[in-house]
Structure formats: structure tokens, C-alpha cells
Amino acid sequence: MPNVTVRGPVAPHTAEALDPVFTVAGLSVFYGEYEAVREVDLTIGNREITAMIGPSGCGKSTVLRCFNRMNDLIPGARAAGKIMYHGEDLYGAHVDPIEVRRRIGMVFQKPNPFPKSIYDNIAYGPRVNGMKGKMDDLVEEALTQAALWDEVKDKLKQNALSLSGGQQQRLCIARAIAVKPEVILMDEPCSALDPIATTKIEDLMQELSRDYTIVIVTHNMQQAARVSNRTAFFTADVDERGERHGRLVEFDETSRIFTNPTDKRTEDYITGRFG
């Protein structure tokens, strides 16, 4: 297996991940009749950080929410095309979305800890999934991996909502880790946080990418440049009826996207000329 955890250029240059966890082919997402995203092709490399960037309404979050079938919960949402997860069709008839979500965790834009104790927040996933093992150890392990243990070890019984925003978000990451997923999806995880908390989360992502495959949607181009191995740039086309349809413009190693993009629209976006 090639070593793909090295950040920066992986020689020789390959736009597509060599060891893909997800292979997306011709993915279109509809909300009712409305086609929100049109024909996306990309690959998500094992234990890499893949960033999805682009202006608002370009469908990057929509694509992200297909990876754990979160869109199933929206009435009328439908995905066409294929997402293969280790060669298995994620939208196959036999696939149980609940099992999918257990293997593919998610962290949301706004920290959303449950209004329960810190301990119960972490223990929730393992309990729900009937995981074996000592719960105290599971909780400590998850909090340690999320770099939160030292800050909260003396107040595990306290309500999670008493934590700061940055701590809450790391708690949500710990909560996702606690069910031992393979992939962690992050939907603008730092957009509600201050710069210091953002730095902590970014460091944490680097740390976690040794063990987990991470896909992050971000508005912050510097963030994508700092943390990711590969970057997918999305934008929205406006059709003759004035409807916006997201599409993938360019997908490549992050260093290429930011130094030598092949598409004019990518270049315009990363240099701040639009979006």
C-alpha cells in the first residue's frame, strides 16, 4: 500500500486517490425535482484529508451528506449515480443507512452536543450501538483522541453545554470517534469557532488523519490549504430558469489546486476574484 498520509505532493502526481475509500461516479443529488448537484466524480483516499471548497450553494455540503446517507432524512432527497464505499454501492438496496452512519461519522457546522453530561454525550453512540467493553475506558479514549481529556476529566458529569464552543466541537468529534468509525465527515466544523479554537481543531484533524479518513467541507480556503491532501473545488452553474446547480470543477492534490489549478474558475476563486 503506498504511503498516502504524507501531506503535500505525492509523487508521481495523481489527481485521484490511489487507495480510495469512496469512489464517486456521476453523482447527482435531487431535492424533489430540483437538481442540487450535477454529476460529480471524485475519490476519497484512505487516511487522507479531502477538502471540499467552493462558494455558498455549490452543493459541497450536499455531496458530503451523501457519504453517510444523511440526505435520506430529508423528505424528497434522492441521489443518482454511484458512490462506492470499499467497492460496495452505498445506495444499494441491501444497505442499511444506520450501519452506514455507524461506520461513517459526522461533525456538524454548529457544535451540537446533546443536553446531557459530557460523559453521556460520548457514551451515547457506543450504548446505542451496543458496543462491548468498559464504558469508562471508551469515554477516556475518545476524549483523549479528541484532545479534550485533560480539560474535562474532572467534570465528566457536568452538562456538555457548559463547555466553550471550541470544546463543544471537540466533544462532538470525540462523540463521533467513540463509535470507532472509519471515516469522519466534517461539515464546516470551524465556521462557528474563534481562530484559536479553529487552530486546535485543525491540529486535531492532522492528528486524526493517521487513523481516520477525513472529508471536510470548508468555506475557508486557507484551512483547506493547511490541512488537506486533496481538494475538490465546486461551483454553481445557473441554468436558463435561474436555478443553481452545483458541480465539481476541479479535483486534485491540494498543492496543485492552490499553486497550479487547471481551471480558470478555480484560479479565480482561490485568488479571491469571486465567491
CB of 246 to another protein, least distance (A): 20
Q: Name the residues that contact another protein, by CB under 8 A.
A: 68, 70, 73, 75, 98-99, 101-102, 105-106, 108, 110, 112-116, 124-125, 128-129, 159, 161, 172, 175-176, 179
* DSSP for the chain, written as a single string: -------S--SSP-SS-SSEEEEEEEEEEEETTEEEEEEEEEEEETT-EEEEE-STTSSHHHHHHHHTTGGGGSTTEEEEEEEEETTEETT-TT--HHHHHHHEEEE-SS----SSBHHHHHHHHHHHTT--S-HHHHHHHHHHHTT-HHHHTT-TTSBGGGS-HHHHHHHHHHHHHHT--SEEEEESTTTTS-HHHHHHHHHHHHHHTTTSEEEEE-S-HHHHHHH-SEEEEEEEEE-TTS-EEEEEEEEEEHHHHHHS-SSHHHHHHHTTS--
Residue 113 or 246: the one with the smaller Cβ distance to another protein is: 113
Residue 52 or 172: the one with the smaller Cβ distance to another protein is: 172
Residue 176 or 270: the one with the smaller Cβ distance to another protein is: 176
CB of 106 to another protein, least distance (A): 4
CB of 172 to another protein, least distance (A): 7
Residue 169 or 218: the one with the smaller Cβ distance to another protein is: 169
Residue 6 or 128: the one with the smaller Cβ distance to another protein is: 128
